[in-house]
């Protein structure tokens, strides 16, 4: 059960991409999400694809990992593809069967939009596969720091996130324990009508919530006893290091953005 959780999908490694500063990765993804929408013709899509492909190659991850990331959303991709084919009625008609007609433009649009989706998912999957959740949190905290001026509780949000991440395995273990305890008492989680099965979850959730609250309270006490009093005057053991690779990555994504802007139709 613990292995199935998506957040634990980090694959340890020491490639260039693994070693990148999480801030650089996050900024790259952020820009990428925008420029994916710049692309609107063959050449721009080709360049975008090439960039994505090179990054994937650099991670040295087997393609199956990326495919796993794509799997949950493949239906959405397929659906958008179909929708575009059926709705867009421009260009030459390619095919007709009763009501249905497929136009050249529809096919083109459907294909490109699906590609956009796939590129986006590949890039974000690459991020989560090569970066630990805690690194992502650190990166976010650092990037959001300027927003502190606008009363955004950046440090608190980051701490909340890292504590949640740290407690996921603990709570999963607990869930399994409660599940087994309730099964031993005769609760049936796996068969019967949907309504019954939903009802069976209640004796799982109630003890889980009670214990989660208890844990939260104890953790708060422990943190207080260890002198935690908010972000003021706090130092950090985790350090982010911006290296040459990071600058190169930023330069290349910026360059790509400019090229795409120039070449788009």
Partner 1 sequence: MERSIIQVQHVTYRYNKESEKPALTDVSFDVYEGEWLAIVGHNGSGKSTLARMLNGLLLPDEGTVTVSGITLSEKTIWDIRKRIGMVFQNPDNQFVGATVRDDVAFGMENIGIPREEMVKRIEWATKIVKMNEFLEREPHHLSGGQKQRVAIAGVLAVQPSIIVLDEATSMLDPIGRREVIETIWSLKEKGLVTVISITHDLEEAAKADRMIVMNGGKKFAEGTPKEVFRLEEELVSIGLDLPFSYKLSKRLLEKGVPLATRHLNVESLVDELWTLKSDN
Which residue ranges make up the site for partner 1 (CB under 8 A)? Answer: 134, 162-163, 165-166, 169-170, 173, 214-215, 218-219, 221-229, 233-239
Tokens (6 digits) for 174: 């607990």
- Answer yes or no: are the C-beta atoms of 240 and 22 closer than 8 Å: yes
- Indicate the DSSP class of residue 19: H
Distance CA 202, CA 218 (A): 24
What minimum distance in Å lies between the beta carbon of 111 and partner 1?
42
**Integer Cα distance of 74 and 7 in angstroms:** 19
DSSP code string of 49-109: HHHHHHHHHHHT--HHHHHHHHGGGHHHHHHHHHHHHHH---S-EEEEETTEEEEHHHHHH
We find the least distance from the C-beta atom of residue 248 to partner 1, in angstroms, to be 27
- Cα(78)–Cα(148) distance, rounded to whole angstroms? 41
With respect to partner 1, which residue has the nearer C-beta, 64 or 239? 239
Retrieve residue 234's tokens. Answer: 């706090």
Nearer to partner 1, 39 or 141 (CB): 141
Using the minimum distance from each CB to partner 1, give the nearer residue, 163 or 261.
163
Q: How far is the CB of 8 from partner 1 (least distance, A)?
A: 10
* β strands within the chain, DSSP E: 93-97, 100-103
Q: Judged by CB, which is closer to partner 1: 17, or 158?
A: 158
In the structure encoding, which two tokens stand for residue 59, read together? 């991670």
CB of 179 to partner 1, least distance (A): 17
Residue 160: CB minimum distance to partner 1, A: 12
Residue 133: CB minimum distance to partner 1, A: 8
Q: Compare residues 26 and 121 and give the one whose CB is closer to partner 1.
A: 26
Nearer to partner 1, 199 or 234 (CB): 234
Tokens 């634990």 belong to 8
């Amino acid at each position: 059960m613990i292995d199935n959780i998506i957040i634990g999908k980090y694959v340890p490694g020491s490639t260039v991409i693994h070693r990148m500063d999480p801030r650089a990765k996050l900024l790259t993804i952020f820009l990428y999400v925008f420029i994916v929408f710049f692309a609107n013709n063959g050449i721009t899509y080709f360049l975008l694809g090439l960039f994505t492909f090179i990054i994937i190659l650099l991670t040295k991850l087997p393609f199956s990992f990326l495919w796993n990331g794509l799997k949950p959303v493949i239906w959405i991709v397929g659906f958008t593809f179909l929708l575009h084919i059926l709705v867009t009625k421009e260009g030459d008609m390619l095919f007709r069967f009763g009501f249905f007609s497929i136009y050249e433009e529809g096919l083109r649009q459907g294909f490109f939009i699906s590609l956009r989706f796939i590129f986006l998912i590949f890039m974000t999957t690459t991020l989560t596969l090569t970066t630990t959740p805690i690194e992502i949190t650190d990166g976010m905290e650092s990037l959001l720091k300027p927003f502190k001026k606008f009363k955004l509780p950046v440090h608190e949000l980051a701490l909340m996130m890292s504590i949640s991440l740290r407690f996921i395995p603990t709570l999963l273990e607990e869930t399994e324990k409660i599940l087994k305890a309730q099964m031993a008492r005769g609760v049936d989680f796996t068969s019967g009508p949907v309504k019954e099965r939903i009802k069976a979850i209640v004796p799982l959730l109630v003890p889980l919530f009670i214990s989660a609250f208890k844990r939260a309270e104890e953790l708060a006490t422990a943190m207080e006893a260890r002198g935690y009093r908010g972000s003021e005057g706090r130092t950090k053991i985790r350090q982010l290091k911006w290296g040459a690779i990071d600058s190169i990555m930023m330069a290349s994504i910026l360059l790509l953005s400019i090229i795409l802007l120039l070449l788009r139709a």
